[in-house]
């Protein structure tokens, strides 16, 4: 696992957008897994700016979802399909045909989960998967004590996660669904390059447990330690509880530029 400490969220967004641009230059039709929430917005904004300037050609890129609420219609403004279309697909100038995600309104949710897992494999697998992290260490919606071998499946949200997400529903927790479809930890680990971005002091404890703690289902993000090419990008606030912060800074500073992240 590589840990990169950046000054702030904007710098993290620029760094990761640059990595995506480098991937698209090597593989123009790369499948990019995207996360929702406020944390990855600087990535999408920086990447869209690079596309507008002509620095990055994303015209053949493919986009896939990490997770989706169960029970919200596809057209609901806070369904993750709507969010990804609004924040990623449209700003990058892509068509809806370039986008794939699980069907959270399916009558048979379990079948929809299995179908999405298969669709990712049929598409050739995820080349780069963006991740955020919850204050309890969850990635996707794999809450604490999720199986580290789990596949795409339905999960029940913890009360804390529903409270955290109420801000997207006019701060009305009653509107936040209780269930989601999420890529499992095992599914996420099949991506060729997972990149986790964490910003803010509120994520510092979860980051420290993810990076320096033992691999444990109680901290789902710690499973990234098992991946041969996982990157964790954190701002100074989110890095504040890392015991090896100085080492991480030194190793990244000495890294050859051609290696990227």
Q: Report the C-alpha gap between 151 and 135 in whole angstroms.
A: 22
Query: What's the CA dihedral at 88, 92, 93, 96 to 10 degrees?
Result: -30
Task: Name residues whose C-beta falls within 8 Å of residue 241's C-beta, 6 or more positions apart in sequence.
Answer: 204, 205, 207, 208
> Which of 87, 103, 143, 235 is flagged as catalytic?
143
Residue 131: CB atoms within 10 Å: 25
Q: What are the phi and psi torsion angles at 106 (to 5°)? A: -65, 145
- The reply to whether 14 belongs to the active site is no
- The reply to whether 55 belongs to the active site is no
Q: Report the C-alpha gap between 164 and 171 in whole angstroms.
A: 9
> Which of 103, 136, 164, 235 is flagged as catalytic?
136
Strand order of the β-sheet with 2-6 is 2-6, 231-235, 194-198, 128-131, 31-34, 62-65, 99-100
- The reply to whether 246 belongs to the active site is no
Q: Report the C-alpha gap between 235 and 232 in whole angstroms.
A: 10
- The reply to whether 76 belongs to the active site is no
> Which of 14, 67, 103, 164 is flagged as catalytic?
67
Q: Report the C-alpha gap between 158 and 164 in whole angstroms.
A: 10
Residue 125: CB atoms within 10 Å: 14
> Which of 14, 68, 117, 138 is flagged as catalytic?
138
Beta strand 62-65 pairing with 128-131: unpaired
Q: Report the C-alpha gap between 261 and 193 in whole angstroms.
A: 9
- Residue numbers annotated as active site: 67, 136, 138, 143
């Amino acid at each position: 696992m590589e840990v990169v400490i950046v000054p702030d969220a904007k710098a993290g967004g620029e760094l990761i957008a640059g990595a995506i641009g480098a991937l698209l230059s090597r593989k123009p039709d790369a499948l990019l897994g995207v996360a929702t929430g406020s944390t990855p917005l600087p990535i999408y904004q920086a990447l869209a700016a690079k596309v507008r300037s002509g620095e990055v050609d994303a015209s053949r890129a493919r986009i896939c979802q990490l997770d989706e609420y169960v029970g919200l219609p596809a057209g609901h403004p806070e369904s993750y399909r709507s969010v990804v279309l609004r924040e990623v697909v449209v700003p990058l100038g892509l068509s809806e045909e370039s986008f794939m995600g699980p069907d959270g309104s399916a009558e048979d949710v379990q079948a929809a989960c299995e179908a999405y897992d298969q669709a990712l494999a049929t598409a050739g697998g995820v080349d780069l998967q963006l991740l955020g992290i919850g204050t309890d260490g969850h990635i996707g919606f794999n809450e604490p004590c999720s199986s580290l071998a789990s596949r795409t499946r339905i999960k029940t949200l913890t009360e804390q996660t529903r409270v955290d997400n109420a801000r997207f529903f006019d701060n009305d927790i009653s509107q936040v669904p209780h269930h989601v479809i999420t890529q499992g930890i095992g599914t996420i680990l099949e991506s060729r390059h997972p990149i986790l971005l964490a910003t803010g002091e509120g994520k510092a404890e979860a980051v420290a447990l993810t990076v320096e703690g033992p691999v444990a289902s109680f901290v789902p993000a710690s499973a990234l330690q098992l991946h041969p090419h996982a990157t964790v990008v954190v701002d100074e606030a989110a890095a504040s509880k890392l015991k090896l912060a100085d080492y991480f800074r030194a190793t990244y500073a000495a890294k050859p530029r051609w290696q990227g992240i």
